[in-house]
Amino acid sequence: MKSAIKYIVTAVLFLSTCFSASSQNKREEIRLDLNFGARNIHRAVESPGENLDFLNYLNDGNGNGNFGVLSFGISLSPDTNWSFYAGMSMLSDMLPSHMLLDVKKKLRTNAAGNDFGISGSMLLYPQYINEFNQYHYKTDIDLIADVDKNYRQINLYDLGFSILPYWKINKKRTAIHLATGAGIFGFLPFNQKIAQKKPNANFRRELIYQTSYSPAPVSLSRAELSYILLRDNNFNLGIQVKTELLLSYRSLKYKRTINTWTTENSDIKTINPRPAFYSKAEGSVGLYLKF
């Protein structure tokens, strides 16, 4: 999580610099939004092999994870060509652990009043690895596979950066925003340790897992439909529907150290599981206030 905070602080400073540089004109608008939706994360489950694949134990352990998501955000438009968005989301734990930072630059407006531009964004979101020690219960049957009997849950953060060209269709009360592009995403590292022993014997073994940042190319698409419910000279109140789809092939690389009885008898190996299909789909509906 410290690594995630470091990336967020860097991105916020970058956005502040961009905002200051583009604030020569009078501020055009501020927009606040509040949304509730659902998120599905799917990662194809690989057949168990001789090495642990952490991603086989994502969320429910059957390849799918479903979450309710509450999100809120603020958008600042210092002029007609630039906009800056910062959003936070919460899962059922009600911790604001999901962050989206987005910068849009309008490149041109056609004769129909529709906009074409490009956006760059940073996205950080969490999910869970649950009970990965079940792998050892199935493979190390002659041992007490995990001396620690507590429920094992790991917060896995996915951090990515993307570039998305966008097309915005503007009507009298309706706006449709479509964007698609590519990016690089990677899971932030974590460490885990499992202690094992043989029943009624002096044999002891310790397994230390140290994951490393595992970047992968992704395809990312977003769509947003907004409709103005109330409008006057000072503000607009509207409803909005948002969707997002991320597609990739993902794996989680790690170094495994096995200490048998003492740390002087160590076996160290780097494991790189085969990438498998991964997707994150999200949809939400909510209200926005623009003034």
pLDDT tens string 27-79? 578 999 999 999 999 999 988 888 999 999 998 878 888 999 999 999 999 98
Q: In what order do the strands lie in the sheet with 254-260?
A: 191-197, 204-211, 254-260, 266-271
Task: Render pLDDT for 102-114 as a digit per residue (tens, 0 to 9).
Answer: 999 999 999 888 9
Question: Residue range 130-143: average pLDDT?
Answer: 94
Residues above pLDDT 90, as percent of the chain = 75
Going by the DSSP 8-state scheme, the letter that residue 57 receives in this structure is G
- Model's pTM, two decimal places? 0.87
State the virtual CA torsion across 7, 11, 12, 17 in degrees, nearest 10: 150
Question: Residue range 139-151: average pLDDT?
Answer: 94
Query: Which pLDDT band, with edges at 50, 70 and 90, does 233 fall under?
Result: confident
Task: Render pLDDT for 175-222 as a digit per residue (tens, 0 to 9).
Answer: 999 999 999 999 999 999 999 999 988 889 999 999 999 899 999 999
pLDDT averaged over the chain? Answer: 90
